[in-house]
């Protein structure tokens, strides 16, 4: 019963999100694209629009992208065994 309710909830949220997004279609004009391609050199001093966006216009994105690598390494260190944990590891998982 609770699984049925969960499925109803998930489908309801999905339908609501899809309905809202299709009801309010926003037509974006290419203003930002035109602004960045015309002004990135004067704004940021970069000769490369990708570097200008990554390191100046969208710096928050780059900062938190750098955090993703740290998260990945922390997860890896957490789930790979250390030398001490491997010392009493066995072939079949039973405790010696």
Partner 1 sequence: MSPEERTARNAGELPEQSLILEVVIGFLYPFMLLLGFHVILNGHYTPGGGFQGGGVLATLFIARYVVFPVNDTGSEQLHLNQRFFLALILLAPTGLLFTGFVNRNPEFQSLYLTLMDILIGLQVGFGLGVAVLRFAFFQGVGKVWRL
Looking at beta carbons only, is 29 or 92 nearer to partner 1? Answer: 92
Residue 58: phi and psi, rounded to 5, are -120, 55
**Nearest of 67, 66, 39 to residue 53 by alpha carbon:** 39
Per-residue contact string for residues 32-61; x = within reach of partner 1 by CB under 8 A: -----------xxxxxx-xxx-xxx--x--
Q: Quick one: CA dihedral 43, 45, 48, 52, positive or negative?
A: negative
Residues making contact with partner 1 (CB under 8 A): 43-48, 50-52, 54-56, 59, 62-63, 66-67, 69-70, 72-73, 76-81, 85-86, 88-93
């Amino acid at each position: 019963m609770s699984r049925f309710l969960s499925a109803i909830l998930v489908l309801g949220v999905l339908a609501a999100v899809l309905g809202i997004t299709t009801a309010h279609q926003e037509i974006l004009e290419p203003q930002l694209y035109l602004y960045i391609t015309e002004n990135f050199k004067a704004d940021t001093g970069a000769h490369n629009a990708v570097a200008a966006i990554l390191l100046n216009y969208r710096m928050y994105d780059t900062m938190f992208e750098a955090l993703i690598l740290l998260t990945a390494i922390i997860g890896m260190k957490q789930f790979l065994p250390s030398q001490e944990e491997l010392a009493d590891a066995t072939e079949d998982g039973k405790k010696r």
